[in-house]
Structure 1
Amino acid sequence: MNSFERMAPDQIARLALAVCATAEAMGQSLSSDAAELIADDLADYPATAVSAALKSCRRGGGKLTTDSILQRVQAADGRPGKDEAWAIAMTTNDEFETVVLTDEIQLALAAAKPVLDSGDKVGARMAFISAYERLVGQAREDAKPVNWHVSVGFDANRRIQAVTRAVQIQRIPREHGQKYLADLSVEPVTEGGRALAGLITGEISYPAPGLRKKLELVKSSMLEMRKASAERKDEMRIEAANELADRRALLMQQAQDLEAKRAVQ
């Protein structure tokens, strides 16, 4: 199912002319019928992406084909490469880290989870990459735009940093970033956190008395952790492991929901 809006007939006609002109600039002869066929094949993708791809073809040289244009269009769809995708997937192992990931990363991670749980990280990476490349290939063939979403961690400041970074590199629209912060009811616990939140919300906030009290509680908790007995530390580690298991279970459920949606499309 194509999630992009197909180009209008007049846009397709202009695209056919651009394809002809590009072929001529590259030293090729292309009939108007062939250009119209290529334009029709490309009409399911954003006009700006196709225009950029044609420009890249003119600069790169070689033979102009539908495939050579499509490769450039798809490579610019915002989906990370397999190595970056694996690194993002592994970040979900830290329950305190807020992770911004794509549908394909989440589905591939779910596919690799049985191997990862067995302790074979090398095998898990291979399984992840295989699934990820297949999922990305299918999404690109269906002309589906990339969908980035947030997996929330426990550290409030990291939530702000992750969402802010995602907005800055245009993985999440600014308005979505504002909504994420509002929905998460994030209260920055450091000056840096407040500054980062201000980049998205445009608002400057100052520590309220209640927030200062929370800071004191956090500080006391940290001191308690340092003084905790070995037995209490073990309990804390178990609690952290349980929280991580809960997070993984949520990611798996979300992946199953995504698969179910894909099945009915």
Structure 2
Amino acid sequence: MNSFERMAPDQIARLTLAITATAEVLGQTITSEAAEMMADDLADYPAEAVAGSLKACRRELTGKLTLAAILQRVQAADGRPGKDEAWAIAMTTNDEFETVVLTDEIQLALAAAKPVLDAGDKIGARMAFISAYERFVGQAREDAKPVNWHVSVGFDANRRIQAVTKAMELKRIPREHGQKYLADLSIGPVTDDGRAIAGLLTGTVTQPAPALRKKLELVKHSMLEMRKASAERKTEMRIEAANELADRRALLIKQAQELEDRRAAQ
């Protein structure tokens, strides 16, 4: 199912003329019927993307203008990352503290490669991921679906803001969506009590309110206990962290399955 709005009749007419003119620039003559058929096939894509593709064809092609050449350039400009960048993005989901901005196709391909990755075969997992990713991207482009970036939130609040800001700069998520994320993730003004809590970590002395002093003593005691944790407890903590990462992966797989179910229902 196409998610773009189809071009209006007057846009298709102008596109037909642009195709004819582009062919002439490349030293080719095509019939009006052929140009109209090509324009009709391209009408399911954004007009700006098609216009940019025709411009690229005029600069790059040395042979005949073909529908395949135009489509190749339209699809390459859809904002989906290449296979190597997609794999790098997918691998950042291994860090449960990292906030990741990824596409539907990356999430689906990661779910497909997960069994191989869990078996410890990273090279095989990369091959499985790329194969699945190219298949999902190819299908999405064939269906003329726009790229959909979404945020998988990690535990580190600072990394969340950095990831969303970078995604906005790269125009991977709409500015209004990014601003909403940032508003949700924003941190309020630091109070005296907040500075006192920070002092536990930085060593800067700031007197907290009396009501908070007892809580800080408990926190300090807890931190000391953590430092004295036995090797057995440290192992338990590592297991807990691994379980949290597994839970996050399970959520990504569940979301990927929901995406796949929606694709199948369309």
Report the TM-score when normalising by structure 1: 0.88
Q: 1:167/1:214 Cα in 2 relative to 1: closer, same or farther (>3 Å)?
A: farther
Q: 1:129/1:23 Cα in 2 relative to 1: closer, same or farther (>3 Å)?
A: same
Q: How many Å separate the matches in 2 of 1:15 and 1:94? A: 47
Q: How many Å separate the matches in 2 of 1:87 and 1:261? A: 26
Which position in structure 1 is the counterpart of 2:195?
Answer: 212
Which position in structure 1 is the counterpart of 2:91?
Answer: 90
Q: CA deviation at 1:174?
A: 1.0
Q: How many Å separate the matches in 1 of 2:146 and 2:226? A: 45
Which position in structure 2 is the counterpart of 1:32?
Answer: 32
Q: How many Å separate the matches in 1 of 2:109 and 2:251? A: 15
CA RMSD of aligned residues (A): 1.8
Which position in structure 1 is the counterpart of 2:110?
Answer: 109
Which structure 2 residues correspond to residues 88-237 of structure 1 after superposition, within 5 A?
Answer: 88-183=89-184, 185-187=185-187, 206-216=189-199, 226=227, 228-237=229-238
Unpaired runs of 5+ residues, structure 2, are 203-219
Q: How many Å separate the matches in 2 of 1:116 and 1:143? A: 31
Q: 1:32/1:241 Cα in 2 relative to 1: closer, same or farther (>3 Å)?
A: same
Amino acid of the structure 1 residue aligned with 2:84: D
Q: 1:224/1:24 Cα in 2 relative to 1: closer, same or farther (>3 Å)?
A: farther
Larger radius of gyration: 2
Unpaired runs of 5+ residues, structure 1, are 188-204
Q: 1:123/1:10 Cα in 2 relative to 1: closer, same or farther (>3 Å)?
A: same
What percent identity do the matched residue pairs reach? 78
Amino acid of the structure 1 residue aligned with 2:79: G
Q: How many Å separate the matches in 2 of 1:135 and 1:113? A: 16
> What are the Cα deviations for residues 73-111 of structure 1, in whole angstroms up to 9, with x where unaligned?
000000001111011111100000000000000000001
Report the TM-score when normalising by structure 2: 0.87
What is the SS of the residue equivalent to 1:261? helix
Which position in structure 2 is the counterpart of 1:196?
Answer: none
- Count matched residues: 247
Amino acid of the structure 1 residue aligned with 2:198: L
